[in-house]
Amino acid sequence: MSGVPELLVLRLLTDREMYGYEIVKAVRLVTGEAIGLGEGVIYPVLHWLEESGAVKAKRKSVNGRERVYYFVTTKGKKRLEHLSNEWQRVSGGVNSALGDPGGATGNA
Amino acid sequence: MRESKFEALKLELLQGGVAPVYIARTLLELEEHYTDLEQDALADGLSREEAERSALAALGSERHIAAAVLARPELRAWSVRYPRFAYCVRSATTIGLIPGMPVMFCIEHRPELTRWAAAIMAAATFIGGILALLDWMIVPV
């Protein structure tokens, strides 16, 4: 499951800029609550993505609240593409093993 | 009240060498997140105490959050990530400051030094005046 939060966050941020709470709610929504991140844990992921240049943050004052909005960068889009391909490859492999474990072993 | 909610987390992150900018951001975002959770819980009809408990539970324990931050070395301060480089910079800065310290002292204490210099000059002028007067009065035989 390593890299899943990163993948989900980047995917969601390609649609529009969001702040942490919105991202957590969106993750819950798009995954049908299959993936429940500890909500506070989203911030180290976001900060790490920012540090690596995949996302950028900007502060906005909304209704007297200070929000930190994140949006994905060109580098982040490339990273998302790479992670998506990797995820498809891994999940395809796992699905294939679950569907036909003998065949998968026999092919190895 | 709210400011103290994540004090333990702040301390743990500081001790772990996390960059101050990320500590501040983490605390700010957690506070905002907590407020959102609490408001949603209140809107769902929970009492204030239940809403607070529910918000804190949803955020996760401070220890868990701290572990997630500390697991990302990229979020640590550069002096923690590159300690040898930091020591070199500190030493170079200290050595560089030594010759500059008298100058900095003079700049910092400029008013006192100006008064002191003016007093010395006034005293020297006064003494010089007296000596000149005595020279003029005493006629060599």
In this predicted model, what pLDDT tens digit does every residue of B48-71 receive, in sequence order? 999 999 999 999 889 999 999 999
**φ/ψ (deg, to 5) at A6:** -60, -45
Within a domain: B101: no
Closest CA of chain A from B75, distance in Å: 7
Task: Please report, rounded to a whole number, the percentage of residues in chain B having pLDDT higher than 70.
Answer: 96
> Is B119 a residue whose pLDDT tops 90?
yes
> Is B121 a residue whose pLDDT tops 60?
yes
For residue A108, name the pLDDT band (cuts at 50, 70, 90).
Answer: very low
Q: What is the pTM of this model?
A: 0.72
CB contact under 8 A, A48 and B28: no
In B, what residues contact A, Cβ < 8 A?
Answer: 22, 25-26, 28-30, 32-33, 35-37, 58-60, 62, 64-65, 68-69, 71-72, 74-75
Q: How many CB atoms lie within 10 A of CB B1?
A: 4
Please report the number of interchain residue pairs, chain A to chain B, with beta-carbon separation below 8 angstroms. 69
> Is A105 a residue whose pLDDT tops 70?
no
Q: Are residues B70 and B26 in the same domain?
A: yes
> Is B105 a residue whose pLDDT tops 90?
no
**Domain residues for B124?**
109-141
Domain A4-93 sits in CATH at 1.10.10.10
Task: Please report, rounded to a whole number, the percentage of residues in chain A having pLDDT higher than 90.
Answer: 57
Which of A1-5, A12-16, A98-102, B96-100 is the least confident region?
Answer: A98-102
Confidence (pLDDT) at B12: 93
Q: Which of A1, A18, A7, A27 is nearest to A79 (CA)?
A: A7
Tell me how far apart the alpha carbons of residues B118 and B124 are, in angstroms, rounded to a whole number.
Answer: 10
Within a domain: B134: yes
List the 2-41 stretch of A: residues with Cβ below 8 A of B.
19-21, 24, 38-41
Q: How many domains does chain B have?
A: 2
| Global ipTM | 0.81
Tell me how far apart the alpha carbons of residues B110 and A4 are, in angstroms, rounded to a whole number.
Answer: 61
pLDDT in tens, A45-79: 999 999 999 999 999 988 888 899 999 999 999 99
Within a domain: B43: yes
Residue spans of alpha helices (H) in chain B: 7-15, 20-43, 48-59, 62-70, 78-81, 83-108, 110-137
Q: Which of B55, B76, B97 is the last residue of a domain?
A: B76
Contacts of B72 in chain A (CB under 8 A): 44, 47-48, 51
Contacts of A19 in chain B (CB under 8 A): 29, 32
pLDDT in tens, B2-30: 455 888 999 999 999 999 999 999 999 99
> Is B47 a residue whose pLDDT tops 90?
yes
Q: Are residues B62 and B6 in the same domain?
A: yes
Confidence (pLDDT) at A18: 95
Domain spans of chain A, in order of start: 4-93
Q: Are residues B114 and B72 in the same domain?
A: no
Confidence (pLDDT) at B3: 55
> Is A1 a residue whose pLDDT tops 80?
no
Within a domain: B93: no
CB contact under 8 A, B29 and A38: no
